[in-house]
Structures are given as C-alpha cells and as structure tokens.
Structure 1
Amino acid sequence: MNDHEIFELEDVVLQEGATLRHARLAYKTFGTLNEDKSNAIVYPTWYSGRHWENEWLIGEGMALDPNEYFIIIPNMLGNGVSSSPSNTPPPYDNARFPHVTLYDNVGVQHRLVTEHFGIEKLALVTGWSMGAQQTYQWAVSYPDMVERMLPFCGSSKTSRHNFVFLEGVKAALTADDAFKNGWYDEQPIKGLRSMARVYAGWGFSQAFYWDEVYKEKLGFSSLEDFLVGFWEGFFLDGRDANNLLAMLWTWQNGDVGKTPGFDGDHVRALGAIKAKAIVMPAEKDLYFPPEDEEYAVGHMTNAEAELRVIPGVWGHFAGGGLNPEDTEFIDNGLKELLDS
C-alpha cells in the first residue's frame, strides 16, 4: 500500500532516552485544508493497524466527511509503515528497535501538523483502541490546540489487567522457536497463529460468542472457521512479529501521567484536558471496560466531558468498523461533537 506520504523527522530523541535516527512518519490525508486551517482532524491508527484500516469511518455524509474536513491519519511508530523494527536499518533494527511511548508518537504527529501543514488548532482528535490512547495523549500534551476529542474503546492509562492480558499475547508470540529472540529470518508463523488464538478470547465479548454472532453477522461457518479465518488471518496479514512487540510495549506503558510536567500523576494529567469530549467505551469491552473510562471522565475537571457507552455484544471490536450499528453510534457522536 503506497497510497501515503512520508514526513521526514530526521533524528528523534525518544522519551526513554534512545535516538531514532532518520525517523519517518507515514500519513494519509483526506479532504482539503481550508484557508484559515480550522477544519483539521487527526485520526491516529491502532494496535497493528495501518492507515487504510482506519478508512471505514471516513466518507461523504459521515462526520469525517472529506468535503468538510481535512483528515490526517498518522501511522503509529512501529506499525510497519512509519519507522518500525521491520524497516529501520541497523543498529536499531528488528529486536533492537527502541522503546516508543504514546508521548513520542503524539510528539512527532504534532510536528507533522504544525511544521508541515502549519495548523495551530485541531477541530477534533479521535481514534479507536491505541488510537484512543493517542487521542487522550494529544489532549494532555497540547490542551490549547485540541478543541474536541472522541476516544472510543481506549484508555488514558493502561490498567494492570490490560497489561496482564498483553503479557499472554506476548508469551504466545515469543514461544515459537522460530522467533529466535527477535532475530528471525522468516516470520514466526506458529507464534503469530498462537497469538491470534489468545487474542480471540479478548477482542469480542462472551455474549458475542454465546450468540454465535460470528456466523450471523460475519459469515463464518463455525467457531473454528472464525478462529482461523478471522483471527489467524488478521495477524498473518502482513504483520511483523517485532512490530507487534514494539507496539505492545507502547500500549503496556500507556499513561498520560507520564507526560513531562505531571510526574506520573495520571489524575492531574486528566485535569489538564480542555477539549470538549465524548468518551465512548464499549459496553462489553473486556480490556477497556466502561468503568475505567467513567473514572477518567470524572477527573477531566477542566473539560466539558461526557461518558457515552456503545451498547451491544461486540466488545472491543465495537470500535473496529465491523458492525454497522456500532459505526452509526460512533458516527452520530462525532457529528454531535463537531456540530457543537
């Protein structure tokens, strides 16, 4: 997929101390930036996602309408399109790729928005999952720049339970002998398939499986067909093991309290947010549950913030663009927020 542009970052000093040299931020835009540069939206990617996998929420007549807004999709560092283990030259290649934080990701996105496009205000930042984490980070890092935010199925701080879930995913991937501590010659297929099986129990809710929604709505013929055809296929679709591990580290260490100036105080960081917000967890999300986001909204004391729960059985993938009813719910929230 070469339908994107590259912003050359040169050398980026990361929050953990390493310097990512000749760093590159891949991005795609939709629509046209208006004369006063007031119609810009940033819509970051998610764990393992690439820019084209965000496009389901963009279209004529939708909230993210390219006829009205200039929409920027920046690819997260580590996703295989921006600078990543799989495309970085030695010495920081493959298993030696440095640790990247959400703060680092948003920092380079900010450079793209301000240095390249000359944008001073963002009408909206939104995103799913790790895209939601980056949405929170934008609003904390640049509170006077972000006018509105709608994070869906994500969090401002990775919970301990979420951390443990990701440890299981990581263990399944790296147990494959072919992984070779990250210095593999070919993708560790057994590990990727095992990772998919672990992830399958978390991405959708118990009710989704009880009701066999994978048959009725997604067209899979059996549970095993779904586990192979959807889940194994998902992680075998051009996804690199070291890239997945790099983004997993970013996710596990997500916390807006680690933003410089807050000394690790998550609550104080939430209090710095000024953007008008609709926060949208999914009713049955197993690792970003609504009660966590209710806590976050309760501490966004300087923002006009609302918790609005996506109903239904789709769990985390309520935010993945698979279910038209969930897409409509998210889109309606975005429209309301943008019209405010």
Structure 2
Amino acid sequence: MDYEIFDLGDVTLQSGVTLPSAFLAYKTYGRLNEKKDNVIIYPTAFGDQHVQNEWLIGNGMALDPEKYFIIVPNLLGNGLSSSPSNTPPPFDRANFPRVTIYDNVQLQYRLVTEKFGIQKIALVLGWSMGGIQAFQWGASYPDMVERIAPIAGVAKTWPHTFVVMDGVSAPLMAVAHFDSSKLNQLTSADMRAVGRAYAGWGFSQAFYREELYRELGYDTVTDFVAGFWENIFMTMDPHNVLTMLWTGQFADISANPSYNGDFDKALRSIKALACIMPGSTDLFCTADDNEYEAKLIPNAVFSPIESIWGHFAGRGINSADNTFIVDNLKRLLALSTKG
C-alpha cells in the first residue's frame, strides 16, 4: 500500500446522512517545513487515484518535493477513500450516501488541520473534478488558501456539463432498467458502454480528425475506443463511478451554508491568487465557463491551454500541454501573496 489512511470517524454529510467510520486515503510527497507554510493540496479527479497525479510531482517540476509538502487526498468514491466498494453494509454498493464536493473539501480540511496542524496553504490545484475542489477550497477557506490553479475544472457544473455527465451514467442506469433497486446487480463488465459514452467528450473533434490517438499507440479510432476508453472504465467499480458522477453533477462552490447558492458571491469571495487553465477545446468544462468565473475572482488570471487535446489537455499525456501547465504553476508559486 503506497498511501496512508486518515480515519474521520462517523461523518455527517451535507445530505444529513451519517457515514460511519469514514476515512480518506492520501499520499504525501516531500517534507513539511518548520513554518508549515510550504503546503500544496492536490486532490484527485473523477476516476483517478493519487498515482495519476504524480506526473506533476518531482524534482525540478512545479510540484517539487524538495521545496514543498504535497498532499494528494483521494476523492470519496474513488475506491481508496470511503467508497461504495469498500464500505460495509448498510452503506455498500448502491446504498452509499450522496457526497458533495463540499463534503470532500471539508474532510480534506480536517486531514490538513488535525493530522498536520497546517493553517496556511500555498496552493491548491487539480484537474477536472480536482479543479472543482481547488475552487471549493478557495471559496470555503479564503483566508487559508494563498493560490489556486484549477485545470480543466469549473467552479460549478454548468447545465451542459450536467447533461454530459448524465449521458455517461445513462448506460449503467439502462442496465438496471432505470430502477435504482436493481443497481446492485451491476458489474465491471457493464462499464464498457460507459467508456464509449465518454469517448466523444474527453478529446476534441480535431484530436480525432488529426488522428492524434496514434501518438497514444492506437492505429484506428475503433482500436482507440476499445483499448483506451473501454479499458479505463472497465477497471472501475460501477457503484464507485455512479457515486463520483453524482458528486460531479451536483458540484457548485456556492451550494452550502456560507453562500446559500449565490454563485457570483462565492467566486468574489476567493482571495487566493488564481491561475485558471481550461483546455481551449474542452467540450464540457468549457473555456467560456471558466472565463466567466475568472472575471469574478478578484486575483485571477485566465490562461487557456491552447490545445486540441480537449479535456485531456490537463491530464499529463501531451508534452506541449504539460510544459504550459508546469510553467504556469511555477509562475504562480513564485508570486508573492503578501499584499
């Protein structure tokens, strides 16, 4: 096991349901300095675990463990933190309670403060649903978070994004004949169609037109959809996927007692220096949505990744996009927050 567990005890979620013996799986890189001010929080995205974040961590990288103490908390529902696949009855599988982005960040706050005694965070960043968590950290703890860097992630699930995620979950609901009482019959084999449903959204039209899947080792679109997309999703537990999809569909940094649904107020309340990096051709966490958000955050820079790799421009698989992200993160970390 290359990660640690932080036991949270019985946790009352935003829904009002109490999840017994909840826990966060996390991994740390580097050392916490004496001042405890070299902290970077790097939450995971939908379907990812901490290992998928490691492409940005390393000597000479933006997230350099020689300089920073990097904490990667795993998303609830991802199979390592409390999830449908590892929670005993009565909250196992389809019976796992609804968890929000707000829930995730509140529990991450407990990890950071209770386990490590940290009161100041140099940077929170993340890709996709990790980016939503970065926004939420900035809105929930504006005096604690000095910088945020959402990558291909929006501050709320805009209507079109909701529809896309609904389409990704639909194959699993169809297997159960849209009867929630039959969801416990789902197996990993049912995930094959989910991969195909997502395949059209992860990359841009130009990515497919220019056959960039060849750079990933596939000769044809058919091979790519089967070898890349089906394989990614068939390694996931269907109930974990439905949990994470729900978390994503109902994400909104203002959907909590601090802001009572006032989205613009939540954005304006973020004090952190922000570098917001959408993929310029992202089809469902769009640059337009991020641009709206960036205009309301007082100290935000809007810096699109000019790329035809769509949503996956932020995933660490295309070297030009990676260089752009690393350079932006280094610039952001070099900026003084002492105003």
Q: TM class by shorter-chain length? A: over 0.9
CA contact (8 A) 2:45 2:130 kept: yes
Q: Which residue of 1 aligns with 2:216?
A: 218
CA contact (8 A) 1:176 1:188 kept: no
Name structure 1 gaps, 5 residues minimum.
none
Give 3-state SS (helix, strand or coil) of 2:45's partner: coil
2:276 to 259, 276, 279: 279
2:307 to 312, 321, 327: 312
Q: Which residue of 1 aligns with 2:102?
A: 103
Q: Which residue of 2 aligns with 1:15?
A: 14
- Aligned pairs for 1:196-235 within 5 A: 196-215=195-214, 217-235=215-233
* Deviation by residue 1:1-24 (Cα, 9 ceiling, x = unmatched): x10000000011100110011001
CA contact (8 A) 2:91 2:97 kept: yes
**Superposition deviation, residue 180 in structure 1:** 7.2
Between 256-265 and 279-288, the greater mean CA deviation after superposition: 256-265
CA contact (8 A) 1:85 1:95 kept: yes
CA contact (8 A) 1:133 1:156 kept: yes
Q: In the alignment, is residue 187 of structure 1 matched against residue 182 of structure 2?
A: no
Give 3-state SS (helix, strand or coil) of 2:142's partner: coil
Q: Which residue of 1 aligns with 2:127?
A: 128
Q: Which residue of 2 aligns with 1:60?
A: 59
CA contact (8 A) 2:122 2:147 kept: yes
Q: Which residue of 1 aligns with 2:174?
A: 175
Residue identity over aligned pairs, in percent, reads: 53
1:265 to 262, 265, 269: 262
Runs of 4+ displaced beyond 6 Å: none
Distance in 2, Cα, partners of 1:258 & 1:187: 32
CA contact (8 A) 2:188 2:234 kept: no
**Superposition deviation, residue 188 in structure 1:** 4.2
CA contact (8 A) 2:275 2:303 kept: yes
CA contact (8 A) 2:23 2:82 kept: yes
Distance in 1, Cα, partners of 2:131 & 2:188: 29
Give 3-state SS (helix, strand or coil) of 2:216's partner: coil
* Deviation by residue 1:148-169 (Cα, 9 ceiling, x = unmatched): 0100100001011111111111
* Deviation by residue 1:156-188 (Cα, 9 ceiling, x = unmatched): 01011111111111111232259972212x724
Distance in 2, Cα, partners of 1:317 & 1:127: 13
CA contact (8 A) 2:17 2:97 kept: yes
Q: Which residue of 1 aligns with 2:71?
A: 72
Q: Which residue of 2 aligns with 1:245?
A: 242
Distance in 2, Cα, partners of 1:299 & 1:151: 15
- Aligned pairs for 1:79-90 within 5 A: 79-90=78-89
Q: Which amino acid is 1:16 matched to?
A: S
Name structure 2 gaps, 5 residues minimum.
none
**Superposition deviation, residue 259 in structure 1:** 2.5
Distance in 2, Cα, partners of 1:312 & 1:269: 29
CA contact (8 A) 1:174 1:181 kept: no
Q: Which amino acid is 2:302 matched to?
A: L
* Deviation by residue 1:4-54 (Cα, 9 ceiling, x = unmatched): 000000011100110011001000000000011010100000001111111
1:294 to 275, 279, 291: 291
Q: Which amino acid is 2:182 matched to?
A: N
RMSD value, Cα: 1.2
Give 3-state SS (helix, strand or coil) of 2:6's partner: strand
Distance in 2, Cα, partners of 1:260 & 1:141: 10
CA contact (8 A) 2:176 2:183 kept: no
Q: Which amino acid is 2:223 matched to?
A: D
Q: Which amino acid is 1:227 matched to?
A: V
**Superposition deviation, residue 337 in structure 1:** 0.4
Q: Which residue of 1 aligns with 2:330?
A: 335
How does the TM-score come out when normalised to structure 1? 0.96
Distance in 2, Cα, partners of 1:52 & 1:97: 24
Distance in 1, Cα, partners of 2:183 & 2:19: 19
Q: Which amino acid is 2:306 matched to?
A: P
CA contact (8 A) 1:141 1:259 kept: no
